[in-house]
């Protein structure tokens, strides 16, 4: 019976460190791998053929070795992009090598027969688009902010006139700059008088500002749900932009219809885990107080007060799969 948990992530990943430590305490075999280490530090020999309809063979890192057929669960976190491994090559060779590694090694790691994925990278990709998230949430009966996605100033002005005040959000974070640093553009109020032809360059996300009483981060791992109400001391529109150590947290109970909708949401995408953000418009006791903002299918949770309990939930679901009781 398959017994090993494969953790796919970069070298520096504190979140993965915590889950691995919890699995080690349970004596669950764990192998950590960053696929971008492909080369002398990461060797594999995967086979498939008549009479052997699933990938088998060794995967060998600098410190561990696992038989692919022994992998019961994959904790897919945040591996280094394959392209980083080949940055030293000329452009054509770099793109070719990265694509071959992604489709070859990645194709194997993403299709291990019978393994539980938390989460499968294909499911994460599908669930990572905000337009899809908002539509899925609305179809499940969750309240969402009135939203416009456009590259037209006139559409933006009309939306603001109907739903103002309006906030602007990015779809993705800022890419790494030439200096190697990344930045962020937080959710912010915008003045419709500033809308002009420059909007035509790319897509923009505008939403009606929700008159919120607070924010909630909900972390769902399998059937377990962890919810924390969050408040920024300065009353910031976007609590992520300030000092996270200064944030105020308090546990909050989800109304039953909200919790059921979140499980349905994850099931719709084939996800086991997700981090949901909500705005509250009341005290949170009623379902109508909860306004869905987004779901990060590979979100961070290590900074939350209940991080230890969330770590245990990950260890529970991953270790159960090694005992033959996990969803496959």
Domain extent listing, the chain: 4-119+315-322, 146-208, 211-297
* Statement: residue 2 has pLDDT above 90: no
* CA-based end-to-end distance of the chain: 13
Which residue has better confidence, 308 or 182?
A: 308
**What's the pLDDT at 232?**
80
* Statement: residue 328 has pLDDT above 70: no
pLDDT, tens digit (0-9, with 9 covering 90-100), for 36-78: 999 999 999 999 998 888 999 999 998 899 999 999 999 999 9
3-state SS, residue 77: coil
How far apart, in whole angstroms, are the C-alpha atoms of residue 87 and residue 52?
A: 36
**What's the pLDDT at 237?**
76
The residues pairing with 74 across neighbouring beta strands, listed in sequence order, are: 6, 117
- What percentage of the chain reaches a pLDDT higher than 70? 95
- Under the banding of pLDDT at 50, 70 and 90, the label for residue 1 is low
Six-digit token pair at 179? 């200096």
Class of domain 146-208: alpha beta
Q: Which long-range contacts (CB under 8 A, 24 or more apart) does 25-30 make?
A: 25/315, 26/315, 26/319, 28/3, 28/315, 28/318, 28/319, 28/322, 29/3, 29/4, 29/5, 29/66, 29/70, 29/322, 30/4, 30/5, 30/6
Class of domain 4-119+315-322: alpha beta
Q: Could you give the C-alpha distances from 267 to 206, 215, 262, in angstroms and in order?
A: 28, 24, 9
pLDDT, tens digit (0-9, with 9 covering 90-100), for 138-177: 999 999 999 999 999 999 999 999 997 999 999 987 777 7
How far apart, in whole angstroms, are the C-alpha atoms of residue 128 and residue 172?
A: 9
**What's the pLDDT at 10?**
94
User: For the domain bounded by 211-297, which CATH number is listed?
Assistant: 3.30.470.20
Which residues lie below 8 Å from residue 311, measured CB to CB, with a gap of 6+?
18, 19, 22
Q: Would 4-119+315-322 and 211-297 be classified into the same CATH topology?
A: no
**What's the pLDDT at 327?**
42
**What's the pLDDT at 73?**
96
Q: What is the mean pLDDT of the chain?
A: 92
Cis bond upstream, residue 129 (ω within 30): no
**What's the pLDDT at 180?**
65
* Residues 306-327, mean pLDDT to the nearest whole number: 85
* Statement: residue 231 has pLDDT above 90: no
Q: What angle do CA 266, 146, 230 make, to 5 degrees?
A: 60
pTM of the entire predicted model:
0.92
How far apart, in whole angstroms, are the C-alpha atoms of residue 264 and residue 141?
A: 11
């Amino acid at each position: 019976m398959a017994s090993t948990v494969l953790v796919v992530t970069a070298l520096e990943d504190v979140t993965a460190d915590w889950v691995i430590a919890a699995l080690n305490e349970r004596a669950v075999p764990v192998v950590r791998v960053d696929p971008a280490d492909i080369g002398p530090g990461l060797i594999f020999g995967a086979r498939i053929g008549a009479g052997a309809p699933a990938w088998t063979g060794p995967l060998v890192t600098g410190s561990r070795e696992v038989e692919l057929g022994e992998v019961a669960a994959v904790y897919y976190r945040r591996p280094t992009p394959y392209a980083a491994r080949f940055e030293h090559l000329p452009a054509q060779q770099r793109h070719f090598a990265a694509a071959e590694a992604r489709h070859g090694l990645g194709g194997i790691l993403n299709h291990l027969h019978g393994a539980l994925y938390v989460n499968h990278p294909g499911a994460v990709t599908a669930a990572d688009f905000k337009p899809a998230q908002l539509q899925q949430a609305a179809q499940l009966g969750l309240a969402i902010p009135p939203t416009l996605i456009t590259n037209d100033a006139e559409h933006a002005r009309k939306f603001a006139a109907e739903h103002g005040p309006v906030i602007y959000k990015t779809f993705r974070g800022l890419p790494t700059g030439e200096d190697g640093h990344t930045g962020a553009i937080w959710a912010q109020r915008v003045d419709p008088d500033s809308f002009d032809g420059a909007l035509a360059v790319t897509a923009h996300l505008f939403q009606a500002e929700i008159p919120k009483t607070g924010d909630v981060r909900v972390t769902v791992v399998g059937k377990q749900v962890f919810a924390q109400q969050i408040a920024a001391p300065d009353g910031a529109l976007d609590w992520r932009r300030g000092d996270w150590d200064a944030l105020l947290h308090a546990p909050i109970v989800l109304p039953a219809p909200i919790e059921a909708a979140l499980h349905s949401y994850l099931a719709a995408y084939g996800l086991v885990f997700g981090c949901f953000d909500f705005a509250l418009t009341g005290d949170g006791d009623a379902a109508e107080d909860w306004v869905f903002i987004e779901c990060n299918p590979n979100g961070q949770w290590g900074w939350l007060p209940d991080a230890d309990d969330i770590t245990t939930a990950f260890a529970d679901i991953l270790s159960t799969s090694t005992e033959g009781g996990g969803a496959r």
